[in-house]
């Protein structure tokens, strides 16, 4: 559907003329619509020209980077290519945490705007403090606008976002309503937006959904799954819902099918992190994701720090291209991803077949091998008594199934889950059951249906 420009001139509705900020946003979107069609080679060349400027800034104004860059042979003014870049050691999360304020720039270009500060949730035990500039956030917001553009959303409808309100220590039951989709979309005429805290019960979210009837819902995959199961159990249909947009967690198996069956709606997946920004967005014609190469250099590396080829899985290493307040050069986010081949849609942006989650979200087999959790969630929820569940590896040979249930499971139902677990994992793990009143979300508001509690993995060192 076409979208109208929001005019800032009194008495002028059409053709709309945006203000200065709106004109800048439109100019950037004009460039992004063209650069996404560049060849991979042209995109990488542009990335390294921007990285050269970022490296010169880091050398001059960030104490942590000066020696590290020069030891790698990366000096201000020198040309950087793939071979030169690979000499710079990967920055682990632990490195970044220990560096602390030594990663903060002592000065930034004034035109980059104000600096904001934050911290990651610390789900590995220790949060990472970060800083970012208005310019970095400006790019993030522009990539966010790609969501409705790529996926041909109807800009006139209401959107509902269910996420944690970072400004509040506890969840507020009051939703926040806006007569537009927010400041990101300031140049455009849009419908309403509503935001509510993810820490509230799913029943509260559903009541709001039934009242507001949004065409688009944005939330964590785990929260979308909870809402879908709640609607399925109550026999509710949401005929006004057109799509759900997911972020913040790895896409679980079966969620797309669950949303199609329950909502008759498709899933649009996005990949971002607080300290790095908007990193990838689902292709409009496929389920894989395209890297936002205009804002981030994203590498997927194997255990020897070599780039993974299509079909291979490795560690996600990211360089945000425009955050001069805290340059993160070759920063290991902690996620694993699978590289995909070039996309037939014609976009030259790099492809990620899927994001596989954190290393600590992987099962550690008794022989040390790590495997992606492979549980049949449909089999779990085929038992009507189960409201919510989480599987935890609590010992090298033991899995614990934590459950919120309507009633205790029968001996036969527990045996079914035990057999399912051992069959899917192809190993005779000990399986024990824990009945709980609630499965807690982590400090960022995320919910995980699998966690590994083994030392060295749960603390992010594994």
Convert 2-33 into a string of H (helix), E (strand) and C (coil). CCCECCCCCCCCCCCCCCHHHHHHHHHHHHHH
List the chain domain ranges: 1-358, 363-452
CATH superfamily of 363-452: ANL, C-terminal domain (3.30.300.30)
**DSSP letters of 137-163?**
HHHHHHHHHHHHHHTT--TTS-EEEEE
pTM, entire model:
0.82
Residue 447, pLDDT > 70, answer no
Q: How far is CA 390 from the centre of its chain?
A: 21
Across 243-257, 337-351, 355-369, 411-425, least confident range: 355-369
Cβ atoms 25, 187 nearer than 8 A: yes
pLDDT of residue 461: 35
When pLDDT is cut at 50, 70 and 90, the band that residue 462 belongs to is: very low
Average pLDDT for 4-10: 90
Across 112-126, 151-165, 217-231, 344-358, least confident range: 112-126
Q: In 10 A of CB 211, how many CB atoms? A: 10
Of residues 165 and 285, the one with the higher pLDDT is 285
Residue with tokens 């909870």: 226
Across 133-147, 173-187, 261-275, least confident range: 173-187
- pLDDT tens digits, one per residue of 244-296: 999 988 888 788 999 999 999 999 999 999 899 999 999 999 999 999 999 99
CA-to-CA separations, 118 to 128, 148, 229, in angstroms, rounded: 8, 27, 34
DSSP bridge partners of 267: 244
- Residue 14, φ and ψ in degrees, nearest 5: -150, 135
Q: How far is CA 434 from the centre of its chain?
A: 30
Q: How long a stretch of residues is the chain?
A: 462
When pLDDT is cut at 50, 70 and 90, the band that residue 125 belongs to is: very low
Dihedral, CA of residue 347, residue 353, residue 359 and residue 361, to nearest 10: 120
Cβ atoms 79, 44 nearer than 8 A: no
Average pLDDT for 69-74: 94
CA-to-CA separations, 35 to 30, 300, 348, 385, in angstroms, rounded: 9, 22, 8, 51
Burial of 140 (0-12, 13-18, 19+ CB in 10 A): buried
Q: What is the CATH number assigned to the segment(s) 1-358? A: 3.40.50.12780
Cβ atoms 321, 137 nearer than 8 A: no
Cβ atoms 249, 448 nearer than 8 A: yes
DSSP bridge partners of 163: 197
Q: How far apart are CA 250 and CA 229, in angstroms?
A: 18
């Amino acid at each position: 559907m076409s979208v109208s420009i929001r005019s800032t001139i009194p008495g002028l509705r059409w053709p709309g003329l945006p203000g200065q900020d709106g004109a800048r946003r439109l100019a950037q979107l004009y460039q992004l619509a063209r650069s996404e069609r560049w060849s991979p080679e042209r995109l990488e060349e542009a990335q390294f020209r921007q990285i050269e400027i970022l490296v010169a800034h880091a050398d001059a104004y960030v104490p942590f980077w000066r020696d590290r860059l020069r030891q790698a042979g990366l000096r201000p003014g020198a040309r950087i290519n793939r071979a030169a870049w690979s000499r710079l050691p990967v920055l682990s999360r632990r490195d970044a945490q220990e560096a602390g304020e030594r990663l903060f720039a002592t000065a930034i270009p004034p035109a980059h705007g104000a600096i904001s500060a934050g911290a990651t949730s610390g789900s590995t035990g220790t949060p990472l403090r970060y800083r970012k500039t208005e310019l970095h956030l400006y790019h993030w917001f522009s990539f966010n606008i790609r969501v409705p553009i790529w996926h041909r959303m109807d800009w006139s409808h209401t959107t509902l976002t269910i996420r944690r309100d970072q400004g509040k220590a506890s969840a507020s039951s009051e939703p926040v309503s806006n007569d537009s989709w927010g400041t990101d979309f300031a140049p455009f005429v849009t419908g309403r937006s509503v935001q509510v805290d993810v820490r509230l019960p799913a029943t509260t979210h559903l009541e709001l959904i039934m009242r507001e009837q949004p065409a688009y819902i944005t939330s964590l995959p785990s929260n979308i799954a909870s809402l879908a199961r709640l609607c399925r159990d109550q026999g509710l249909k949401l005929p006004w819902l057109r799509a759900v947009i997911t972020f913040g967690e790895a896409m679980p198996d079966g969620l797309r099918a669950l949303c199609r069956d329950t909502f008759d709606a498709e899933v649009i997946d996005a990949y971002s992190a607080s300290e790095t920004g908007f990193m990838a967005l689902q292709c409009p014609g496929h389920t894989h994701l395209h890297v936002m190469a205009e804002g981030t250099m994203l590498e997927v590396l194997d255990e020897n720090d070599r780039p993974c080829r299509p079909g291979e899985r490795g560690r996600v290493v990211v360089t945000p291209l425009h955050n001069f307040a805290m340059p993160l050069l070759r920063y290991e986010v902690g996620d694993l991803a699978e590289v995909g081949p070039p996309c037939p849609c014609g976009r030259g942006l790099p492809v990620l077949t899927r994001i596989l989650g954190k290393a600590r979200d992987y099962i550690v087999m008794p022989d040390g091998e790590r495997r992606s959790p492979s549980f049949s969630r449909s089999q779990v929820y085929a038992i009507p008594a189960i409201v919510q569940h989480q599987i935890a590896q609590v010992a090298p040979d033991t899995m614990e199934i934590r459950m919120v249930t309507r009633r205790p499971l029968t001996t036969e139902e527990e045996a079914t889950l035990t057999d399912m677990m051992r069959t899917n994992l192809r190993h005779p793990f000990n399986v024990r059951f824990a009945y709980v009143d609630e499965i807690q979300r982590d400090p960022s508001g995320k919910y995980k249906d699998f966690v590994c509690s083994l030392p060295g993995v749960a603390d992010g060192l594994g």
